[in-house]
Chains A and B, each alone.
Chain A
Amino acid sequence: MKSFEVITIIPANKKTSVLQSVQNGLRILQLFTIEKPVWGLTEIAHALQIHKSTVSRLITDLLVEGFLQKEGHKYSLGFSLLSISGVITSHLEIHRESKDILKKLVSDLGESGHIAILEGKEITYVHKIECANPVPLLSSIGKKNPVTCTSAGKVLLAFQPTNRIDSIIAEGLPRLGPNSITDPEQLKWQLSQITQQGYSICIDEMHENVVSMAAPVRDYTSEVIAAVSVVGTRERIHHTKINSYTERIILAANEVSMRLGFIPDKEWTIH
């Protein structure tokens, strides 16, 4: 088949040219956030550094397919996005099976909790449950964070094959908080520790004053597919609490794993 030859000629991961207009259209969608859910044409053009006439054409397509809707003279996200995100929530087993366990964890500890997965080279939150008095943090559901500065990210990375770890390290290690690990060797050493101990603790790595702890979730094939994490400030999660919190997080992560069909053997049960 002719089209098949085309595919084999183009190296799959590297140099396939992206479709500029598609990329721009998708980037328009990514501008919309909970903090700024409504955007005007000029603002979009300015934010993306694209001509207004081009943006206008892209918006027309986004409107027709239901990815944007009109809001007076401006635009907000359209219901097609609700529909496709509904498909994900129904399909993603981890989304279904983890919510009530996470809720319980959050209410027990009184701190916000997340379920995170690795998507490409970044972590994505499939659930983010706020505690009763949340510290305003910078991650909203689905918003991506660098994998190397968060406890959930490190747990997910630690159980990846070495070549995947190397390729993520090769992209560079960002410094976001005072304790971000920027030395590849140090990170590799930490990751090997995490695989042995079965949890990860990050202090001041993502932001100053922020503590996070995470444990891995395994599916029926024993593969690590998600992480349960809890995040708070150093004042609230005092270092004397970290051990007991971490144990509780591991318990929650094991509970989710069991729902996904994981059968623990001695190696992964806690004492």
Chain B
Amino acid sequence: MNSYQYSSLRNALRLLNLFSIEEPELQLEEIAKRLEIGQSTAFRLVHTLMGEGFIVRDLSAKSYRLAAAVLALGHTLINKEDLYYLSIDIIEKLAEMAGETAHIAILQDYQALYLLKMDSANPVNLLSHAGRKNPLHCTSTGQVLLAYQEHAIIEQVMERGLPSYTAKTVTDPSKLKNLLDTIRSKGFAVSREELHEGIVSIAAPIRIGKGKVNASISIAGPASRINERTIPRLIKQVQQAADEVTKKLQR
């Protein structure tokens, strides 16, 4: 894409979106390259973003990172969401009981968007965080969200392609359809190493209004802990938490 078509503001926002948990710090050359702009333009963007307190420069590493002041905006956004403040205590309790990281996610732009992540006493590096988006077809969260959508939406997700992330990712549309049917009838999903090797997750739907599902609760952790022995108990805990949130939302 030709980035000269972008306005300066678009480029500044694209710059902010370059930062990720995998790349929390970026150097100027890298920013210019990724945005396909000159280094002098990148410098002016960075300079303006610093002036407004959105990024800071790490002098020793000669790199830039997001400023903690951005947390205030994230906080403002999330506090507006009923789902967030109605579920935060329940999620905290789930993380503690299950001893695994717990999440709440919603469906957004054909992806699962985590609204909230709560670490347990035994956190593992899951590469998940509030605001992170994951594909729908290969996480328990995504599969639960997808299972309860209208046919047309399920078809659209399949048409967009089912990329493979591990040997266990379901990439065959008819197999995925069967899986979604099973999830709907059972009321939960267990995903074993379909997105990341060694990570197992369990999710259950949050129903809003007339049984409509656009949010889900999940836990995720290492396959060594979430195994055939512990899964039945964990499923119950996740389902119970999801039902509690559903009840609170319906009140």
Contacts and interface: CB of A to CB of B under 8 A. Distances in A.
Nearest to B132: A86
Q: Interface size for chain A: under 10, 10 to 19, 20 to 34, or 35 or more residues? A: 35 or more
Given A29-B73, A80-B16, A19 B45 contact: yes
Contacts of A78: 77
A65 B10 CA distance: 7
B8 interface: yes
A25 B70 contact: no
Contacts of B49: 22, 26
B172 to A, nearest CB: 30
Contacts of A91: 21, 24, 65-66
A87 B21 contact: yes
Contact of B19 (A61, A81, A84): A84
Given A25-B12, A126-B68, A84 B43 contact: no
Contacts of A4: 39
Contact of B75 (A67, A80, A87, A142): A142
A119 interface: yes
A81 B8 contact: no
A21 interface: yes
A89 B78 CA distance: 14
Chain B residues touching A, range: 35 or more
Contacts, number: 193
Contacts of A27: 52
Interface stretch (A31-39, A146-154, A199-207, A237-245): A31-39
Contact of B70 (A23, A33, A66, A85): A85
Nearest to B38: A3
Given A19-B45, A91-B21, A142-B75, A119 B14 contact: no
Interface of B: 7-10, 12-14, 16-17, 19-21, 24, 32, 38-40, 43-45, 47-54, 56, 65-80, 108, 113-115, 117, 129-133
Interface of A: 1, 3-4, 6-7, 10, 16-19, 21-27, 29-30, 32-34, 37-38, 57-58, 61-62, 64-67, 76-92, 95, 117, 119-120, 122, 124, 126, 140-144
11 contacts: A16-B43, A61-B13, A67-B16, A76-B77, A81-B70, A81-B73, A82-B131, A85-B131, A88-B24, A119-B56, A124-B71
Which 4 pairs across A and B sit closest by C-beta, in order of nearness?
A85-B74, A142-B72, A83-B131, A86-B129
